[in-house]
Structure 1
Amino acid sequence: MIDWDFAVSLGSRIAGEGPTVTRAEADDAVAELRAGAGRSTGLVREFTGLDAPDGTAPILVVDRPGWVQANAEGFEVATRPMIEKLVASKPPSGLSLRVGSKITGAEVGGLLGFLAGKVLGQFDPFHAPHGRLLLVAPNIVHVERELDVDPTDFRLWVCLHEETHRVQFTAVPWMRDHLFSEIRAISDAVEPTTFVDGGLERLTEAIRSGRKGGSLVEMFSTPEQREILDRVTGMMSLLEGHADVVMDDVGPSVIPSVDQIRRRFTQRRQGVGTLDRLLRRLLGLEAKMAQYRDGAKFVRSVVDKVGMEEFNAVWAAPEHLPSKAELSDPNGWVTRVLG
């Protein structure tokens, strides 16, 4: 139902190559990012108490097309249960299959192309067997130039955040399988006719009204799916907020200009144009920004109250993850989990 090769080709063309750099500058950036990711492992372990086994998830420094390719592979794994359900409901064939797969491939490619120019780094949990860490070198170079910050400091700052995600998924053995089970639960809750019927009208209305929170995810979700999405929101907010706390609290000891970097980076997040804001809203990226803020506030509140060692009970089992409601009620989480 999706022409993945076409999606990768289109997405790579839309993404472009990024900023102009010399061969020496590119080599220096790649080497520094690899070294920063390796250095971050020990820093994350010392600060959080999470010990990830060595050699479980590789660290890759990629360009924009490389990020598109990796995420197309991840999307294919993540969407497989839903696509199988849709195909079983109404098997496509012949011309409709060929045309439809190109259309959906174009949609996925457009999404990947848009995101490929913005993502600095990402842990890819879908890569077998344990995931992999992706650092997007041209985007990191572009942002460090745009912010006019020290490149070495900025690269280590980004590595601290992304390496924290790698540690989260490799030091907590159930995390990856739990994420997959939630994705399968969303797919199981999909009603094919509801998913297809009325989709264009809802998308058009969302673009026209520009209503806050009108993301594609929310438009195509049933009450049962929204309940699952709330659980996933709690989990992802924890992971993002925890990584933000690590990068900002470890930063001052190893990154001299961390305060300047954080201030300018936060200002940059707010300074987007109208079209960019609309696309972020439709793709749910505004919610992504809220995850950083709400998750970091939750982590800091709990750690300030009970300390990091007690906070780490959050990693003991899936039922210890905060709910979406508990993100704004950390005391409620402490009472429920720690007693």
Structure 2
Amino acid sequence: MGLYRSVRAVTEASGTGPIDWDAVAEASKAGTDPGTLEVGPGEREGYATDVRDARDRVREVSGFEFDLPDTIEIINRHHWIDNNIETFRRVMAPLEDRVGMFPSAARVINTSSMTVALSFLARNVLGQYDPLLLADGDGADDHALYFVYPNVRRVADSLEADSDRFRRWIAFHEVTHAAEFGAAPWLPDHLESRMEAAVDRLAEGDIDRVTLGELDTTMTAVEGYAELLMDRAFDEEYQDLRAEIERRRRGRGPIQKLIRRALGLGMKRRQYERGKDFFDAVVDARGIEFAGRVWERPANLPSDDELDDPSAWIRRMDDMQ
């Protein structure tokens, strides 16, 4: 019945825009098992403890004073879809405003594509600290930090990892992002403005490769700095967890690999690795406090060339003093 409801919601997509977001929400949830939210009191307290410990350790390592979001939630997959669909709708709004009336067949295809993307992500996201949810917009202060409980449990089981240790690793990773965005209050609006600019150009039938390049370098800095903090803040070695996740990723079927490629998730792995190499080099040369200068202002973000030549970024920061 879930598959039937999902297909029916897509084929009945209506409205005047290129995407029927109500149909996306209905179809995504109809085709996705929400998963359990039977979280025991001890485990719920474990999440809270892990987040507090991560905050204290990341503050100590980074030197940044930052607050955690007021809302920290343990959610299921349907909650994740509800929380994110408004973000997708807001970012894609320029397309809808500019394109206007779409033929119904194209609307069905677009709605179907977004349904596939959201359903896939809902089944695979473990935790989320989403900067776009913090940017200006209705409900922007909601759901800033959350954990998709059924996914965390499923992946921990599939890796045969200790569930408490795996949960703690996820908590530390998300809190490293909280530190970055706490240190750079300009970053959410910077990311969203770049994304909206790229969508604007796409609506005009053009691909803005400059803006997309800026987005890529910014997210490479975000992911790389988070990896830097994880290496120094997490309370034990975790390469075995990362190796197991990489092994699991390589073992995915062809359809999952195709979807991941279409969603740019392979690029995200490259961002982790390239960004971490950049910050490791900066820290080796000048220390972690100097590396934190990247979050002082947008002009301090590394360029694409500087990501491969950290010494050039260091010289530029010295010149700006």
**TM-score in terms of structure 1 length:** 0.80
CA, structure 1 residues 82+335, in 2 after alignment: closer, same or farther (shift >3 Å)?
farther
1:46 counterpart = 2:60: yes
Contact 1:124 1:134 in 2 (8 A): no
1:14 counterpart = 2:26: no
1:22-72, CA deviations, whole angstroms, 9 ceiling, x for partnerless residues? Answer: 93x555544422332232112111111122135x45222211111111111
1:331 counterpart = 2:314: no
Deviation of residue 141 (structure 1)?
0.8
Q: Which amino acid aligns with 1:15?
A: T
Task: Report how many residues are paired.
Answer: 296
1:187-227, CA deviations, whole angstroms, 9 ceiling, x for partnerless residues? Answer: 332353x3xxxxxxxxxxxxxxxxxxxxxxxxxx62xx111
- Residue 199 of structure 1 aligns with which residue? none
Contact 2:129 2:174 in 1 (8 A): yes
1:108 counterpart = 2:125: no
Deviation of residue 78 (structure 1)?
1.1
1:240 counterpart = 2:230: no
Contact 1:301 1:330 in 2 (8 A): yes
- Residue 129 of structure 2 aligns with which residue? 123
- Residue 269 of structure 1 aligns with which residue? 249
Secondary structure of 2:47 counterpart = helix
- The equivalent position to 1:32 in structure 2, one of 14, 22, 46, is 46
Secondary structure of 1:76 counterpart = helix
CA, structure 1 residues 74+30, in 2 after alignment: closer, same or farther (shift >3 Å)?
farther
Tell me how far apart the structure 2 counterparts of residues 130 and 169 of structure 1 sit (CA, whole Å): 14
Tell me how far apart the structure 1 counterparts of residues 299 and 59 of structure 2 sit (CA, whole Å): 23
Q: Which amino acid aligns with 1:107?
A: S
Contact 1:67 1:136 in 2 (8 A): yes
Q: Which amino acid aligns with 1:274?
A: P
Q: Which amino acid aligns with 2:24?
A: A
- Residue 185 of structure 2 aligns with which residue? 173
- Residue 77 of structure 1 aligns with which residue? 90
CA, structure 1 residues 35+14, in 2 after alignment: closer, same or farther (shift >3 Å)?
farther
Contact 1:60 1:134 in 2 (8 A): yes
Secondary structure of 2:132 counterpart = coil
Deviation of residue 83 (structure 1)?
2.0
Range with bigger deviation, 35-44 or 182-191? 182-191
Tell me how far apart the structure 2 counterparts of residues 11 and 130 of structure 1 sit (CA, whole Å): 24
1:319 counterpart = 2:302: no
Contact 1:14 1:110 in 2 (8 A): no
Contact 1:6 1:102 in 2 (8 A): no
Tell me how far apart the structure 2 counterparts of residues 22 and 130 of structure 1 sit (CA, whole Å): 23
Secondary structure of 1:153 counterpart = helix
Contact 2:54 2:233 in 1 (8 A): no
- The equivalent position to 1:187 in structure 2, one of 199, 213, 220, is 199
- Residue 218 of structure 1 aligns with which residue? none
Listed as ranges, the gaps of 5+ residues in structure 2 are 1-16, 134-138
Range with bigger deviation, 135-144 or 167-176? 167-176
1:230-282, CA deviations, whole angstroms, 9 ceiling, x for partnerless residues? Answer: 1111110111121122223222xx24x63432332333233322222222112
Contact 1:123 1:133 in 2 (8 A): yes
**TM-score in terms of structure 2 length:** 0.84
Deviation of residue 13 (structure 1)?
2.8
- Residue 231 of structure 1 aligns with which residue? 214
Determine what percentage of the aligned residue pairs are the same residue: 31
Tell me how far apart the structure 1 counterparts of residues 157 and 44 of structure 2 sit (CA, whole Å): 16
1:68 counterpart = 2:81: yes
1:309 counterpart = 2:289: yes
Over 3 Å off, 4+ runs = 25-31, 99-103, 128-131
